Structure 1
Amino acid sequence: MTSATAAFWFPVLYLTGVGLLFTAYITWNRARARVAVQHAHDEGYFPPHTSRTQYNELAEMFSPEDPNGLKLLMTSLMKRALTDVQRVFHINEEKAPLQALVNKGTVGEDLLEKLVAAEADLQSEINEVMEEAEMYRPGWGKTIFQEASQMVQMSAQQEAQRIAQEQQAEIQERARAAARAEAGESPTTTQSESDLGSPASVASGATPTSQTASNTSLTSETEEERRQRIADELLREEEVEKKRAAKAAGKAAAKNVAGGAGSGSAGKGGSKGKKKK
């Protein structure tokens, strides 16, 4: 009688325990999914918009009626527009592939929802930047993002050229190292190692201790000093962009002058040939 009762209750208790564990696992998995989705929505698709934050801080400090303040605010607004253009390019590149991955079931819909929310927020941000630009200069709201797009593309081309030059230099360095190895010469120290151990670096005080001290001094600056530092950096960036634009315009003008001179000389040669006939 006792063995029969045990034989009856043992599978019942076993199945009940398995069912409880399975129910607990499902509850935990759903709770974890809800937390992940909430965290995804709270975190956002892009990092915080630091350029917008800097512009809002400078707008509270300076007035557009002041010429220096107007120049500083316009520079900060252009930097904000550059960030917006980069994010637009980023969304255009990733939206279609991400949609395809979601349709295949490879990726969940959480990331796509974040991208769609970021796209809507970015549209509001673009409208706000256009309104601010129109306030500083009539008609600038229609052209600020065109200017920012050209600057982003130019920066991307310069970055691509820099990477290509670095790769070419690395290939040449490897070729020289292989040639030295075939000739039986000992490998020379790299430029970075010689710079780290050179007397110039020691004399200049480029040590980890000095770098830590400089970082500590940066973190200990006041809020007013930080905002002023940001303003100075924006002005320096604007001067660099102006020099680049002037250099590009000079090259274009030189090409136009050369082209006009060539066409003029060709025209003179043609007229002389007609006279000879």
Structure 2
Amino acid sequence: MVNWLTLAVPFAYLGVLLGSLATFSSLYRKRKARKSLSLEPWFPPHTQRDIYFSLLHLDPSASNDNKGTGKKPPSSVPDSVLKSALLRRAIEDIKRVMALRTQKGALAMLLQRGSVGDDLWQRFLRAEKEMEDEVRDVVAEANAYVPGWGQTIFQSANEMLNNAIFPAASTTTSEEGSGVPTPATKTPESSGAPPSVAGSDDDAVLVEADEQSAEKKGKK
């Protein structure tokens, strides 16, 4: 005769074990999700994105101050302004993507050595995921204005970024080559600083020697 009580004990133990593991896994995932949300963002607030959304959701009918005054309500934001704001948003995205690519290798090496904690790595991974979503959003917004613009908007933004970086560097180089004194290369005469008094110690020694010789002559 089969002893059902003996068979029920292992199954009950197995059920309790599986239930405990499932509960632990669920609590761990929830805790990890809450911890990920509480982590400090990797980048500062995206100002260019905020400006774009502010212009995009600017509702001219929301202003009721002009009602009854005979004034024409403000017109909607032109598409040219929105496109320009979207392009500036793409430029900022390129800067952030380049920063992530530059920092990833060094951060991974530090993580392997144990020099940084897992929280920093989680912040970085979340920033990467956010930038992937941001790039897809910019591409979708660009295609909404002009079909196919999403394929070239980041190329245009990269060209604008390079044109903004290289002229600034060439201007600094030309100023250094023309002999214009920069704050780091100004001489004391050009900066208005007082002349050096490096010879004051030698003068003091000479004066003291003269006084000693005068005292010896007086004793004689």
TM-score in terms of structure 1 length: 0.45
Q: Select 2:52's aligned residue among 33, 44, 55.
A: 55
1:1-277 to structure 2, matched below 5 A, reads 38=35, 41-61=38-58, 69-165=78-174, 169-170=180-181, 174=185, 177=187, 189=192
CA shift in 2, pair 1:173/1:132, >3 Å: closer
Contact 1:41 1:114 in 2 (8 A): no
SS in 2 for 1:46: coil
Q: Which has the higher helix share?
A: 1
CA apart distance, 1:51: 1.0
Residues 96 and 134 of structure 1: is their aligned pair in 2 closer, same or farther, counting only changes over 3 Å? same
Question: Letter of the aligned partner of 1:147 in structure 2?
Answer: S
1: CA distance, partners of 2:43 / 2:84: 23
- Percent pairwise identity: 30
Pick closer, same or farther for the CA change 1:38–1:75 going to 2, 3 Å: same
- Tell me if the contact between 1:51 and 1:76 (Cα under 8 Å) persists in the aligned partners: yes
Q: How far did 1:150 drift?
A: 1.6
| CA spacing shift, 1:109–1:40, aligned 2, 3 Å | farther
Count of residue correspondences: 145
**Quick one: distance in 1 between partners of 2:57 and 2:165?**
32
- The answer to whether the 8 A contact 2:43-2:127 is kept is yes
Q: Is the 8 A contact 2:55 2:77 kept in 1?
A: no
Unaligned runs of at least 5 residues, structure 2: 1-30, 61-74, 194-220
Question: Cα RMSD over matched residues?
Answer: 3.2
* Residue 274 of structure 1: aligned partner: none
User: CA offset at residue 106 of structure 1?
Assistant: 1.6
In structure 2, what is the Cα distance between the partners aligned to 1:88 and 1:188?
A: 42
Aligned 8 A contact 1:59 1:73 in 2? yes
Q: 1:138-163 CA distances to partner (integer Å, 9 max, x unpaired)? A: 11111001111122222222333344
1:82 and 1:149 in contact (8 A); partners too: yes
Q: Is the 8 A contact 1:40 1:110 kept in 2?
A: no
CA shift, 1:40, in A, is: 8.6
